[in-house]
């Protein structure tokens, strides 16, 4: 008996640290929730995982009726001050009789390039209000750039406590990007990191993880960054995430619409291609040639029609790619370049098949691959709802049924017309669903024939305004690069140029964007690139230089860089000199 007591005592002592740790964690979580929520917020809302009560300058934000506003966007309190901002917050209790829809997702849902002013959720709210002749429609945007399948079930669990009539889920682009890439490659390490960062003790200590260095794999390589098992694991995690959302929603009798994500397959190539056949010497030679062909043809314009004199060059490159693929059928970039050549040769169906094959073979897709699209369609079928096939809607609208730069600002983020199409596809699904309102309640006669332009004016959004916001981001990154050196400067210059490029996707004659591209080229010492961009500025509107001329002339670094490319920025435009 005494021996049993001895062992029992030892067992209790062994477990005591774990009991103390669990008690400390519970106390820390309680302290965190007491600090983050006003005292009169119901206890049931204090343990929401992603949604928080907004605060603005240390004060909790309320609506006109005095109810606290909740959001998963820390900046939503500031955005409310903008009269043309979208809806990123709502009250805990839904107004009686109102219609409340939550849009869950990542950067596409958030509206990268147009947020906080516009995204598909804002178009959807405006259209539902018009078609149903109601002022009590809330379409709440809970999309956050970088969200993935690890985050979305938590968001769904939170918003299902806020009285939704419908959930819309648009996701799939971030399944093989950090931080989810860590989860796919090293599940145990990810689980440990996630447990730490979400714990109350971690919050109490004010600790933070060191920033992870973004991995930038070679575009064409002989060894993939991730293996097939990790790729399959990502699909499993994504499917499980959607399944969990469907189950939680079904328990509360809330319908879910799963959107099939789409991306810019026609203009943005695969992120990583792997050469697997042949000796290492042969593969390296093939890699060099592939990159040369990419430099020559990847970004060549699809229009105007190809001249007869240029056709032999394109046909010869196509034959060379076919020979390369005869040796190794798995080279994603080769399929993509074939698509670009075939499209220019006016063979759009073959081009589309090549683009699809390139997307399937991309070893590290930073957007939803065809496999992820299949997962969404299967999740919709299993949950008893129809998938909102956004991909098909984009193909119907796109030139030659190939979604490209006419509907996107980059590799996966839609332009305004793209967001309109997503909202249109969701609206069509809502009408067919019949849960929000009967089909007869939707008065499409309330909308003018040119509905897209009508709603853009109503919401005070345009590609031109949005392009200028992207230019401002580009200028900020360029200023940051000015104070850096080495790889950090190169990365900031790259980001600045990306912002400028996306501005030009929105507004092709944005002189400010060309000015930024010219300045980036000047910092890099690229004389030809800088002078070409500055020439575009002068051709479009040289007066855009006025706000920058004095600042650039007084900055010795920029003066030296501009001198190196033979340029002087003046208030009326850019003077290009012959010498340095």
- Give the pLDDT score at 286: 92
Residue with tokens 């078609």: 131
Do 527 and 493 share a structural domain? yes
d(CA 424, CA 131): 12
d(CA 358, CA 501): 23
Do 219 and 119 share a structural domain? yes
Structural contact between residues 137 and 99, judged by C-beta atoms closer than 8 angstroms: yes
Strand partners, 220: 273
Pair of tokens at residue 209: 């993880």
- Give the pLDDT score at 41: 63
Do 285 and 267 share a structural domain? no
10-residue mean pLDDT series, the chain (580 residues): 63 68 61 61 65 77 85 86 87 91 96 92 96 95 93 93 95 88 76 64 54 67 85 93 95 96 91 91 92 88 78 94 94 95 93 95 90 94 88 92 88 93 96 90 86 93 87 87 84 89 88 92 90 91 86 81 88 77
What separation in angstroms does the CA of 242 have from each of 72, 198, 259, 300?
A: 19, 22, 11, 39
What separation in angstroms does the CA of 30 have from each of 36, 50, 201?
A: 10, 16, 11
Do 386 and 293 share a structural domain? no
Torsion sign across C-alpha atoms 95, 100, 104, 110: negative
Do 472 and 371 share a structural domain? no
Domain of residue 141, residue span: 46-178+214-272+366-460
Q: Give the CATH number, domain containing residue 96.
A: 3.40.50.1110
Q: Judge residue 476's burial from the number of C-beta atoms within 10 Å of its C-beta, 0-12 exposed, 13-18 middle, 19 or more buried.
A: middle
Instruction: Report how far apart the first and last C-alpha atoms of the chain are (Å, whole number).
Output: 95
pTM for the whole thing? Answer: 0.87
Which of these three, 346, 361, 376, is where a domain ends? Answer: 361
Which of these three, 310, 339, 361, is where a domain ends? Answer: 361
- Give the pLDDT score at 466: 86
Structural contact between residues 118 and 413, judged by C-beta atoms closer than 8 angstroms: no
Pair of tokens at residue 304: 């105007």
Do 512 and 467 share a structural domain? yes
Q: What angle do CA 327, 329, 333 make, to 5 degrees?
A: 110
Domains: count for the chain? 3
- Where are the strands (E) in 222-296, listed by range? 256-259, 273-274
Do 257 and 387 share a structural domain? yes
- Give the pLDDT score at 514: 93
d(CA 164, CA 504): 38
Do 164 and 98 share a structural domain? yes
Structural contact between residues 104 and 152, judged by C-beta atoms closer than 8 angstroms: yes
- Give the pLDDT score at 470: 86
Q: Which residues contact 222 (CB under 8 A, 6 or more apart)?
A: 274, 275, 276, 280, 283, 284, 287
Do 112 and 128 share a structural domain? yes
Do 325 and 220 share a structural domain? no
Structural contact between residues 269 and 333, judged by C-beta atoms closer than 8 angstroms: yes
Q: Give the CATH number, domain containing residue 570.
A: 1.25.40.10
Q: What angle do CA 559, 504, 556 make, to 5 degrees?
A: 10
**Pick from 26, 28, 32: which is nearest to 52 by CA?**
32
Pairing verdict, β 256-259 and 166-170: parallel
Do 417 and 446 share a structural domain? yes
Structural contact between residues 190 and 149, judged by C-beta atoms closer than 8 angstroms: no
Do 370 and 307 share a structural domain? no
Structural contact between residues 325 and 334, judged by C-beta atoms closer than 8 angstroms: yes
């Amino acid at each position: 008996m005494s021996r049993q007591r001895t062992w029992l005592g030892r067992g209790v002592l062994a477990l005591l640290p774990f009991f103390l740790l669990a008690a400390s964690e519970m106390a820390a979580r309680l302290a965190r929730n007491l600090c983050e929520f006003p005292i009169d917020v119901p206890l049931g809302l204090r343990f929401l995982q992603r949604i928080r009560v907004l605060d603005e300058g240390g004060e909790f934000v309320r609506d006109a009726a005095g109810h606290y506003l909740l959001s998963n966007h820390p900046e939503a309190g500031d955005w409310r001050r903008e009269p043309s901002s979208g809806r990123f917050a709502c009250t805990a209790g839904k107004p009686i009789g109102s219609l409340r829809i939550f849009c869950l997702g990542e950067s596409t849902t958030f509206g990268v390039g147009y947020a906080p002013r516009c995204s598909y959720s804002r178009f959807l709210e405006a259209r539902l209000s018009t078609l149903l002749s109601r002022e009590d429609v809330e379409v709440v945007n809970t999309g956050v750039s970088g969200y993935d399948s690890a985050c979305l079930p938590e968001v769904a669990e939170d918003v299902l406590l806020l009285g939704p009539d419908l959930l819309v889920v648009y996701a799939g682009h971030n399944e093989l990007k950090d931080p989810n890439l860590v989860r796919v490659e090293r599940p145990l390490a990810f689980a440990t990191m996630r447990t730490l960062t979400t714990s109350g003790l971690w919050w109490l200590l004010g600790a933070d993880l060191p920033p992870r260095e973004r991995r930038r794999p070679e575009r064409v390589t002989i060894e993939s960054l991730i293996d097939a098992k990790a790729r399959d694991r990502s699909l499993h995690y994504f499917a499980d995430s959607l399944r969990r959302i469907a189950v939680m929603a079904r328990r509360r009798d809330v319908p879910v619409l799963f959107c099939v994500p789409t991306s810019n397959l026609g203009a943005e190539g695969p992120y990583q291609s792997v050469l697997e056949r042949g000796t290492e010497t042969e593969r390296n030679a093939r890699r060099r040639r592939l990159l040369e062909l990419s430099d020559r043809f990847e970004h060549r314009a699809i229009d105007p029609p190809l001249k007869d004199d240029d056709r032999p060059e394109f046909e010869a490159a196509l034959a060379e790619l076919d020979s390369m693929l005869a040796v190794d059928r798995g080279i994603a970039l080769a399929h993509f370049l074939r698509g670009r050549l075939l499209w220019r040769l006016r063979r759009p169906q073959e081009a589309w098949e090549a683009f699809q094959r390139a997307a399937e073979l991309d070893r590290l897709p930073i957007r939803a691959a065809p496999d992820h699209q299949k997962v969404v369609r299967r999740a919709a079928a299993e949950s008893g709802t129809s998938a909102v096939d956004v991909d098909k809607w984009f193909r119907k609208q796109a030139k030659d049924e190939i979604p490209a730069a006419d509907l996107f600002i980059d590799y996966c983020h839609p332009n305004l017309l793209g967001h309109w199409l997503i909202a249109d596809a969701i609206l069509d699904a809502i009408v067919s669903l019949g849960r929000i309102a009967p089909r007869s309640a939707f008065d499409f006669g309330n909308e003018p024939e040119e509905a897209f332009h009508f709603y853009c004016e109503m919401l005070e959004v345009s590609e031109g305004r949005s392009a200028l916001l992207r230019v401002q981001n580009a200028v900020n990154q360029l200023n940051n690069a000015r104070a850096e050196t080495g790889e950090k400067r190169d990365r900031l210059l790259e980001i600045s140029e990306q912002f400028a490029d996306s501005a030009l996707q929105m507004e092709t004659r944005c002189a400010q964007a060309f000015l930024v591209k010219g300045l980036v080229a000047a910092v890099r010492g690229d004389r030809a690139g800088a002078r070409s961009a500055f020439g575009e500025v002068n051709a479009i509107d040289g007066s855009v230089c006025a706000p920058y001329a004095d600042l650039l002339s007084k900055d010795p670094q920029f003066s030296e860089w501009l001198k190196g490319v033979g340029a002087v920025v003046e208030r009326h435009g850019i003077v290009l000199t012959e010498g340095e």
